[in-house]
Amino acid sequence: MKKSKIISLFFAIFTIGLLVSCGPKETIPEQRRILVYCDESIYNLIYPCVAHYDSTGSVVKVTFRKTTAWDAMAKLLAKEADAIVIARDYTRYEDSLMKAFGVFPHTRLVLAFDALVFYVNKDFPLDTLTDEQIRKFLTDKNFSLKKLYKQLPNEPIIAVNSPMSSELVNLYQLVLKGKNISRPVKVFQTSDSVKNFVKTNSNAIGIGYLSHLYREPDIRALPISFIDSTGKYIFPHNVNQPNILRELYPYIVKHYIYVLDKLNDNSMTFARYLYNPGFAQKHFFEKGIVPSNAEFKLIEED
């Protein structure tokens, strides 16, 4: 083969290679990110849903951070978060702040129904309390549970999460009806710390969520009797999914996702993932609380 032909052949192969390499390429979706803050009290409940969401290959990637409920709401109001997951409503302070600065209530979805519970370890001598007894014990330092229940060795120690927690907001809104706590309480910085204290103290009453007690055989939620909105007396029922659905427990808590901008498709995609039927809603059911987007058929016992 002559030299000129060799050069021509090489040029032809090189040209074909260029044509192949310049052909249509597979497009890779551009990753989009959102920043979501989560209430520390329900972080362990929500995080598996975020991990599953990431595993689905969604182009929307979530940076998921744990903080206090108050800080999460502050991040949202300051527009420093795309969304927050939190176990409470707005407080009066936040309502006033939003009105003052012309901020409209955010788009939000109810993800699940939980319960604010008063829980004890297996050696605590009482099986139940009333709504009024709890309120009086916390707001009237002269009120004595020990006088009512002789089996108590001392007045119970009330163990609570941080003043920045959603548990404290729900305690004031659902239980104390606006009254202030006047009795000394033992304050911790995390919900797990409250739980660990109650496990080792048979005279303690912890304040937390029903979801905190999942697979915790050494602690139990106290059934609470109360007067409902119609004036009917409701005797103490076990704190569980059916009785939350039937509203036979007085302190039902909603877990929300608040979205900064409802026109942000990235944030709404993640919010709908938590809300719509699927992994997240099934996960909430398996953790012993009531998913918001599911059908239940309750069969009343004779």
Mean pLDDT, the chain, rounded, equals: 90
| Segment 160-173 mean pLDDT | 97
The pLDDT tens digits for 89-142 are 999 999 999 999 899 999 999 999 999 999 999 999 999 999 999 999 999 999
Which has the minimum average pLDDT: 13-17, 38-42, 199-203, 259-263? 13-17
Following DSSP, what letter does each residue of 63-108 receive, concatenated?
EEEEE-HHHHHHHHHTT--SEEEESS---HHHHHHHHHTTPPPPEE
| Segment 202-221 mean pLDDT | 97
- The CA distance from 184 to 186, in Å, is 7
Q: Which of 102, 84, 51 is nearest to 256 (CA)?
A: 84
- The CA distance from 46 to 40, in Å, is 10
Of 4 and 158, the structure prediction assigns the larger pLDDT to 158
Query: 219 with 123: CB under 8 angstroms?
Result: no
The pLDDT tens digits for 217-260 are 999 999 999 999 999 999 999 999 999 999 999 999 999 999 99
pLDDT surpasses 90 at 272: yes
**Which pTM does this prediction carry?**
0.88
Token couple for 136: 């009086």
Following DSSP, what letter does each residue of 103-144 receive, concatenated?
PPPPEEEEEEEEEEEEEEETT-S-S-EEHHHHHHHHH-TT--
Burial of 40 (0-12, 13-18, 19+ CB in 10 A): buried
Residue 17: the pLDDT is 40
pLDDT surpasses 70 at 37: yes
- The CA distance from 287 to 72, in Å, is 23
* Backbone region of residue 255 per phi and psi (left: phi > 0; alpha: psi in -120 to 50; beta: other values): beta
Of 26 and 213, the structure prediction assigns the larger pLDDT to 213
Residue 7: the pLDDT is 36
- The CA distance from 60 to 83, in Å, is 13
Residue 294: the pLDDT is 79
Q: Please give the domain boundaries of the chain with CATH numbers for all domains.
A: 32-113+254-291 (3.40.190.10), 114-252 (3.40.190.10)
Give residue 297's pLDDT band: very low, low, confident or very high (50, 70, 90): low
pLDDT surpasses 60 at 28: no
